[in-house]
Homo-oligomer: A and B are copies of this chain.
């Protein structure tokens, strides 16, 4: 067996770094999107934030808006799916998979999550969003299976 550390120099690890950064950036972009909706709809979570827009009725601004909640749910779903992908993917990259197989996993996941965001924010009819969510999860499960079968030590 070749050493784990030598696998960090492989193209698989480079591909992982690229796709991991892309999906993390996608996830992080949900934060400014939430702020954008909060500022344009004038809906805030904290009383002190109402100073960011000029208005005379501050108290009214601390409330719930369906579009803001939609973006927040999408962001939380990203946290629940993208972070496990990156963590499992990191270990997966070190098990020395074929570059083509690894790229298939990474591309499928990145595509799923970008489509998931479009389907969530755009409120596309189901099961478009459920499908992309399940497919993305299956990619992570597939990588987790490979990690466990390669390095199992309980």
* A interface residues with partner B (beta carbon < 8 Å): 3-6, 8-9, 11, 13-15, 17-18, 20-22, 24-25, 27-28, 30-32, 35, 45-49, 51-52, 70, 73, 75-76, 79-81, 83-84, 86-88, 90-91, 94, 120, 123-127, 129-130, 133, 137, 140-141, 144, 147-148, 151-154
| A129 smallest CB distance to B (angstroms) | 8
| Docked complex Cα distance between A151 and B21 (Å) | 10
Name the B residues within 8 Å of A17 (CB-CB): 91, 94, 147, 151, 153
In the assembled complex, the Cα of A45 lies from the Cα of B76 at a distance in Å of 13
Q: Contact check, B148 vs A21: say whether CB atoms are below 8 A apart.
A: yes
Q: Give the complex CA separation of A94 and B90 in angstroms.
A: 13
17 contacts between A and B (CB under 8 A): A14-B151, A14-B153, A17-B151, A18-B148, A18-B151, A21-B144, A24-B88, A25-B141, A25-B144, A28-B140, A32-B137, A46-B70, A46-B120, A48-B126, A52-B127, A79-B79, A83-B87
Shortest 9 CB-CB contacts between residues of A and residues of B:
A5-B5, A14-B153, A5-B8, A4-B8, A14-B151, A17-B151, A15-B153, A3-B9, A17-B91
A20: chain B residues at CB < 8 Å are 87, 91
